[in-house]
Chain A
């Protein structure tokens, strides 16, 4: 297995959010994490991305425990949070230049991930004038600068129109074909169709779940896990 996550725990003061998160993924796979609001989905992604510290557990990627070697995280994975991590006053080029050197950026725009994401079409547009889809594509573009093996996406399709969703989905398919591992938090039916595996986060643990294309069944399942405030 390329990714092996074992026993990740996290508590805020006395409130236990994650009690035992364990699962594994192999290269080219895609998994979704579902759960009610406040169940700890975003917390789990931020722990894996190295933003927050876990109280315990391990996150092995190709033999290295990334939780013990956080310095390797930026190279190993790309993290796209729920909001758009962009500087509103700057245009797409300036935002990308924070992460890419000029040469790499030009190459990626010509034939790499940024080309696939269609960012070359709005390079000079200031972020504040971009649509939600453009912002999301640009956010992904910023996250994949190091050509990471794992891509963590927090609600990638939230509030996007079908065309934008399709753009992102196409990119993710290519990313997977190249051996990338995608782990996303989502409740979007189209996103779920892309995934090989779904997990429901409930009472701090992940439970495997077969989606099977029935959105009503998903809603029923989520109804069993009441909303919580962290």
Chain B
């Protein structure tokens, strides 16, 4: 035991010697990530304010009421903040579409007006981007395009049907007045359609606001990638030293017992370097987390202990990856790929609720998924027992695997 303690103290000394470099790297990452986040947020806000999806309208646009429907969508409907209908020729639309200036093209077929007058309900043909670009944005835009198409077609159909009925009944003098009334009714319907139903946002990841969800995601991603920042501890690691330790009576288990806490210390230190700017941001209300609004840094301080088990688990995972990889370069690559891959699957970049079911299930099974759910539950102040079990279970699995790999390396099986 004396030698294990001495070995642990030596590893701790190594970690402390490496700490200044690690602190610099952590700070650099924090500054870069913060700057990038600010840039993305400000760009996103500017883009959301200033840009709309442009939809090209081509084909037979001569009918006055078609123009009226378009004007209604453009001027009165809620969708006017998101979409812009641009009348143009087919050639212009095609060129603009391939230049990426148009999100979609709606073609109004020839004789559409006649078909509507005679009660045939032809729809506008919509061209959108290819399947390869399918995503959340495409789906939302598909819905919006469909809505615009329906509004334009239906308003025309109703007006022409009403005019024809009045003409058939010999009430031609009422057509103008009734058209105005119908237009007003349609406008009212269009404008008030938001009142037809209520959309309840349940939140992400067990009921968290998007802001808190991403707050947890950001910390998780930092922890997942901390293997890269702390790789210096493994740079001079070699099998020779392990063999020497074994010859001196320090086996694989005691070696890991001496090395892992030192690595964990580096990971935890990195985390605590990240905390002051986060706490400051929260205290100043800069992060805009609704659940913690107006409470200063107090909720964050009570959230901090939740991060410790997560750090313990992810440090064990990174430790195992470094042990399993052949050489430091492979180790760093493995850390990068697994960090980004697991971060993506576990919803650090996009809320996992948007993923297909199988992908979501996979993301939840992964250690990063367990960590994400643990942090999300911790942010809400209630961590179920199964999440504790998952986090410590994964920790145990990784440490056992590390010991087995170390043993195999020393005995020449790997």
Contact = CB atoms under 8 A, between A and B. Distances in A.
Pair from one complex: yes
A81 B412 contact: no
Interface stretch (B11-19, B291-299, B316-324, B383-391): B11-19
B411 A52 contact: yes
17 contacts: A46-B243, A51-B411, A53-B411, A71-B249, A73-B247, A79-B243, A81-B240, A82-B240, A87-B236, A89-B13, A89-B236, A90-B10, A90-B17, A98-B7, A139-B244, A142-B244, A145-B248
A74 B238 contact: no
A108 to B, nearest CB: 16
Contact of B244 (A73, A85, A89, A90): A85
Interface in A66-98: 71, 73-74, 77, 79, 81-90, 94-95, 97-98
A52 B414 CA distance: 12
B410 A51 contact: yes
Contacts of B6: 97-99
Contacts of B13: 89-90, 94
A4 B254 CA distance: 31
A99 B248 CA distance: 9
B54 interface: no
Interface string A90-113: 100011011101000000000000
A81 B236 contact: no
Q: Please classify the interface of chain B as helix (H, G, I), strand (E, B), loop, or mixed, using the class held by over half of its residues.
A: helix
A83 B238 contact: yes
A32 interface: no
Contacts of B411: 51-53
B248 to A, nearest CB: 5
Contacts of B7: 98
Given A89-B236, A98-B10, A52 B244 contact: no
A146 to B, nearest CB: 8
Contact of B14 (A12, A49, A87, A99): A87
A82 B240 CA distance: 8
Given A90-B13, A90-B14, A84 B240 contact: yes
A89 B17 contact: yes
Nearest to A152: B247
B244 A79 contact: yes
A48 to B, nearest CB: 9
Nearest to B6: A98
A50 interface: yes
B115 interface: no
B165 interface: no
Contact of B248 (A74, A82, A89, A97): A74
B243 A85 contact: yes
Contacts of B247: 46, 49-51, 73-74, 77, 79, 81, 143
A180 to B, nearest CB: 16
